[in-house]
Structure 1
């Protein structure tokens, strides 16, 4: 399995690769995760990220044309790279025996010719222990994820500025700044916005404690392939307020009442105030998150991985036989 994220990275692709390694090894497979493919032999190859893994996939297909290949489509693959760099991105998708999409809407957002080899897989999360009693002195809202353009990471902080004086909402963001620009933006916002705090990158335990100690989680991304943090929030029973993008609707459903338009801090501020002021709205969001939790279990994710492996082997065999004929 190849991921563009190096060992030790807290990037989502690395976390996915290492989680899948554990799940597949639980199922009896032996899995090597690499960030630089050198042509090693294997029984099956999984590439996370169609565009970033394009060279590795090309090398693999040239050396091992009769070995099954699975390509996992990320948000940037679907919503940026297939548009900005169509030739290499679509070539990688074409080379795959199976494509994995991480939310229900992926089939609508890729070329029709690829849909028959697409499998939807929901990323899993471990159910956290019961959360401690919520603090009474405020209404904590968390934002979890690296600070970068695709995540629109400060939108909740800007929304918090629009809240009335009596609001007790405080936005706490955890995640590494993608570059110096985002670091400076977060530091300046924290210095100037009394409702906002940036914690930087937390470890897994710290992130879990932030999530379970919050009343609401905001995911404000402009593009997502199927954010694992949504899985984590649902497994924890934490209400989610999400930007209205396919990657959110593909996980939470069309009837979910917690969406706001992309990059619209005024609409987000209205939702935040509603969540704080209307207990029945907050409880409805929490109940919906809890009902969705069953789709984000490790058992279900492992079964989906096994399905993808089986289908890739089947399609590869059919392709090889057709080529021999």
Structure 2
């Protein structure tokens, strides 16, 4: 198949949607498909569309459906589609109806869809290929925070939390992630200048950011919403335990009963959790490491590749059932 893969971020950027798009494109090519990754719509005789972000890719989806009626449309659901809900996010219900398949990055994402559309959804967790192990720093207890400086990531909350740590704590927070505007850049730079426990590295190449994560003793996710954060599955792949806000994007990956959650926006609760991990209070660090190790299989590349293979096979089977002639067009998402 010739697949058009649309992303709302520049394909070469280090933002989450672009990272996901590049990985998906590699998987599709491994499966024998031809792929064009683009920002927006590109005219051409494509056999299928995969669109990341139902809201921001809505025009691409409408145009493709109009130009290629019957060709399958797959929508990758992002955090800003799903949460708090589609209506609040401004997602057009008519665009959702155009999808033959939805891909959610964690199991709770499917719950956000209207019941009649849920049978079209597949959960495909993200993966990470092997990354070279890195030794942990010995001069501190390093905690990684990999997030761009955007309000939804609550980027200064972890820095506020480490300010609250007891004097005997050796925790240092390393933040890798770029700022999208000058005001945000000034805010994080000022925090880094005043807070000795907070080191902001700015935007890093992906390999360097993964190196920071690989050497760290813990990952913090402070987001208000996530569709299924790349960095959580990256941490699972690297064996790095996670402390996260209790949001569906994380509970859908780590489990509702995972012990390493704190309330959204609660710096004091985060500080208490960080200190408990550092001190391994009641074996807390060991428990988190064991739980994350048991979930490592979720981040295996073969698992993600096989899930996509099954998705395409299912669409082909449905097309053959509805249109026995091999030259007939596919279907338009009826279940």
Q: Which TM-score tier does this pair reach, normalised by the shorter chain?
A: over 0.9
Does residue 259 of structure 1 match 2:261? yes
Aligned partner of 1:215 in structure 2 is 217
Task: Give unmatched runs, 5+ long, in structure 2.
Answer: 324-329
Note the aligned Cα RMSD (angstroms): 1.8
Spell out, residue by residue over 1:148-206, the C-alpha distance to the aligned partner (whole angstroms, 9 max, x if none): 11111121110001111111111110001122222111011111111101000111221
TM-score scaled by length of structure 2: 0.91
User: CA separation of 1:200/1:111 partners in 2, compared to 1, >3 Å: closer, same or farther?
Assistant: same
Q: Is the 8 A contact 1:68 1:316 kept in 2?
A: no
- Superposition pairs for residues 1-325 of structure 1, below 5 Å? 1-80=5-84, 82-84=86-88, 86=90, 88-132=91-135, 134-278=136-280, 280-315=283-318, 318=322
- CA distance in structure 2 between the partners assigned to 1:182 and 1:315 by the alignment: 48
- CA distance in structure 2 between the partners assigned to 1:4 and 1:80 by the alignment: 20
Spell out, residue by residue over 1:53-109, the C-alpha distance to the aligned partner (whole angstroms, 9 max, x if none): 1001001111111111101100000115722354x5322211000011110101222
Q: Is the 8 A contact 2:58 2:95 kept in 1?
A: yes
- CA distance in structure 1 between the partners assigned to 2:81 and 2:89 by the alignment: 9
Task: Give unmatched runs, 5+ long, in structure 1.
Answer: none
Q: Is the 8 A contact 2:48 2:71 kept in 1?
A: yes
- CA distance in structure 1 between the partners assigned to 2:97 and 2:197 by the alignment: 48
- Which segment drifts farther, 213-222 or 106-115? 106-115
Q: How far did 1:127 drift? A: 3.0
Q: How far did 1:254 drift? A: 1.3
Q: Is the 8 A contact 1:5 1:11 kept in 2?
A: yes
- CA distance in structure 2 between the partners assigned to 1:11 and 1:89 by the alignment: 24
Aligned partner of 2:327 in structure 1 is none
User: CA separation of 1:322/1:10 partners in 2, compared to 1, >3 Å: closer, same or farther?
Assistant: closer
Q: How far did 1:7 drift? A: 3.3
Q: Is the 8 A contact 2:72 2:315 kept in 1?
A: yes
